[in-house]
Amino acid sequence: MGTRHESHDGREAHEQQTAHDGHGHGGHAHSHAPSADADRRYLSAALALLVLYMLAEVVVAFATGSLALLSDAAHMLTDAAAIALALWAIHLAAKPANARLTFGFKRAEILSGLGNGITLLLLGAVLLAEAVRRLVDPPQVEPKPVLAVALAGVVVNVAAGMLLARANRTSLNVEGAYRHIITDLYGFIGTAVAAAVIWATGWMRADAVATLIVVALMFHAGAGLVAQAGRVLLEGAPDGTDVEAIRAHMLEVDHVRDVHDLHVWSVTSDLPALSAHLVIDDECFHDGHAPRLLDEVLECLVGHFDVDHSTLQFEPASHAAHESGLH
């Protein structure tokens, strides 16, 4: 059994290799993203802003009869729920792993992102139906208070967006909350424009048109979140990962004859993982070269690819005939 600790760009790596069975395991931890505690502070501050403003917005929406303003308030409710869900997911993800959940609750953040995406799609569908109805039969809307509240909403959402932009947006959990805020910001801008149009021209359908624009943005953001979460849950290769390039790099290492059963996936947003079987020259198991070869392969993975956790199994070339289902 050999163990090696090394520093790579200020980060610590831990790698283990078992000589008698040819199994190796390696990983490195690195992150320049904000800490979970910092994320909690940014998310909590944004949540407080949104809840206070949402309450004021609902009152004005009912008083004026503006669907666009009410849709923004409903969307802001989902924003607040998204941030609350993100905070809960961060709390869960921080719990330690155990014998039953060997990676802990790290995928709670992925489930949070998926939930945020689904809520955007469902709310968008409801608002789409109401916007179409109001295009056919537009109600009267008082533009002045709608414009004032919408402009204030722009300010609130810019502030909340700036807070979330400082959090760790590589996390799908935080990114989901951020997308809620940004689509709501665009919604407020649309509402302000619609109110200005109604004020200037009296064209009441501008309110429904603004709602349709908000709905389109919600569908776009929601579909993106669902697709990203689905990719992680289905254990697809992370975005931007070229699996064949990884295979080619490992094959360039001396004494590596073949690479099979290569799998690359994400445990959560910022924790990619890799496993592979490497067929190597038989003499590596007899001359003590296997531990050094493990180091070389892991250095290749660390140096060229952003893989935080790798598990490698070494197999002698003479054993290849006993392997089944190679891929």
Q: Each residue of 241-257: pLDDT tens digit?
A: 889 999 998 998 888 99
Q: Is 254 helix (H, G, I), strand (E, B) or coil?
A: coil
User: Which of residues 79 and 115 earns the better pLDDT score?
Assistant: 115
Q: Is 19 helix (H, G, I), strand (E, B) or coil?
A: coil
CATH architecture under which domain 36-233 falls: Up-down Bundle (1.20)
Q: Reduce the secondary structure of 261-278 to three states and give it as a string.
A: EEEEEEEECCEEEEEEEE
CATH fit for domain 2-30+244-322, picks 3.30.70.1350, 3.40.50.10800, 3.90.226.10, 3.40.718.10: 3.30.70.1350
Give the chain's radius of gyration (CA, Å): 26
pLDDT of residue 60: 79
pLDDT of residue 2: 35
Q: How far apart are CA 195 and CA 65, in angstroms?
A: 12
User: Which of residues 309 and 34 earns the better pLDDT score?
Assistant: 309
How many other C-beta atoms are found inside a 10 Å radius of the C-beta of residue 44? 14
* Encoded tokens for 138: 């537009």
Beta strands in the chain, from DSSP E residues, in sequence order:
2-8, 11-18, 23-28, 256-268, 271-280, 309-316
Q: Is 104 helix (H, G, I), strand (E, B) or coil?
A: coil
Q: Is 207 helix (H, G, I), strand (E, B) or coil?
A: helix
Do the strands 271-280 and 309-316 form a parallel or antiparallel pair, or are they unpaired? parallel
Strand partners, 311: 25, 275
- The domain limits of the chain are 2-30+244-322, 36-233
Amino acid at 213: I
- pLDDT by residue (tens digit) across 48-91? 998 888 888 788 778 877 776 676 677 678 778 888 888 888 88
Q: How far apart are CA 237 and CA 258, in angstroms?
A: 20
- pLDDT by residue (tens digit) across 265-276? 988 877 888 999
Q: How far apart are CA 47 and CA 277, in angstroms?
A: 47
- pLDDT by residue (tens digit) across 5-23? 333 333 333 333 333 334 4
